[in-house]
Amino acid sequence: MHLKMENRIQILSTRPIQQSLIKDARDNGIDIDELTFIATHPIQSELVDKEIDNALKQTATIVFTSMNAVEVVGQQIKEHQPNWKIYCIGTTTQQLVAEFFGQNAIAGTANDAASLAQLIIKDQPKEKLIFFCGDQRRDELPELLKKHSVESKEVIVYKTNAIHHLIQKKYDGILFFSPSAVESFFSNNQLSENTVLFAIGNTTAKELKKHSNNKIVISNEPGKQNLTKTMIDFFKS
C-alpha cells in the first residue's frame, strides 16, 4: 500500500505510547490517536504489603507477567536486594525487572505467559515459586504450572479497572496491549471488517479472536515499540 499525504492511515492506540513512536508513524503517513481503555491501581493493604515483605526476605523463584506488578513489588525494596530468580515477560517488563532487581536476577524470559510457563516447567525450580500479578491475570501460566505439578503461590498486587469509551471515528488499525483492554474496548464498540487489529502478544490475540473476526497481526516481540513498528511495517508493505 502506497501512503499519500492526503490519504493518511488512521490508527487508535488503546494506551499511551512514546511521542517518538507517534512521530515515527507520522513520518510514514500514519496518524495515531491515543485513548486509554484500562486503569491499574496498586492494592494498598497490610496483607499485600506483608506478602511482599515476606517474599523479599526469602530465597524464591518469582514470576512477573506484567510491568504493573514489577513496579508495585519493586517499590517495596529497601537497601538489600532479595535472593530471587525471576522469570518474566520480555521487553518492558524485563527492563523494569532489571532496573529494580538487577539483570543477574533474571533466570528466563518469554514473549507470552504460556511460553514463560513452559520455560519454568523445563527448569523445575527448587525454590518456592511466587507469582505476583493483577486481579485480572490470565489462566494460562498458573494452569500450565499446576498441570505439570509445579506449585506456585499467587499474590495479587494491583487491580485493573475498565474505562469505557464509545468510538465514533473509523480507524484503519487498532493497537491492543492487553486482554483487559480488548474486553473494555469491545464492551462498547464494534468495528468495520476492514480494521486491522494489532496484538502485543499471543494472549492478547487470543482475546481478540473471542470478540472479532477481523485480521489480527501479532508483534514478534512484546513491547510498545515493537507493536508500533509492526503496525508501521504492515501499512508500509
> Quick check: 121 pLDDT over 90?
yes
Chain segment 190-220, per-residue pLDDT in tens: 999 999 999 998 889 999 999 999 999 999 8
Q: In percent, how much of the chain has pLDDT > 90?
A: 84
- Residue 14 CA to residue 174 CA, distance in Å, equals 7
- State the fold for domain 9-37+164-236: Rossmann fold (3.40.50)
> What mean pLDDT do residues 35-43 have?
96
pLDDT at 231: 98
> What mean pLDDT do residues 121-131 have?
92
Chain segment 3-23, per-residue pLDDT in tens: 444 689 999 999 999 999 999
Residues forming beta bridges with residue 86, ordered by sequence position: 62, 106
Mean pLDDT score of the chain: 93
**What's the CATH architecture for 41-160?**
3-Layer(aba) Sandwich (3.40)
> Quick check: 188 pLDDT over 50?
yes
pLDDT at 112: 87
pLDDT at 1: 43
**Sequence ranges of the chain with CATH classification 3.40.50.10090:** 9-37+164-236, 41-160
The pTM score is 0.84
Tell how far CA 147 is from the center of its chain: 24
Closest CA to 156 of 88, 73, 85: 73
> Quick check: 2 pLDDT over 50?
no
Chain segment 64-117, per-residue pLDDT in tens: 999 999 999 999 987 788 999 999 998 889 999 999 999 999 999 998 899 999
More confident residue, 173 or 127: 173
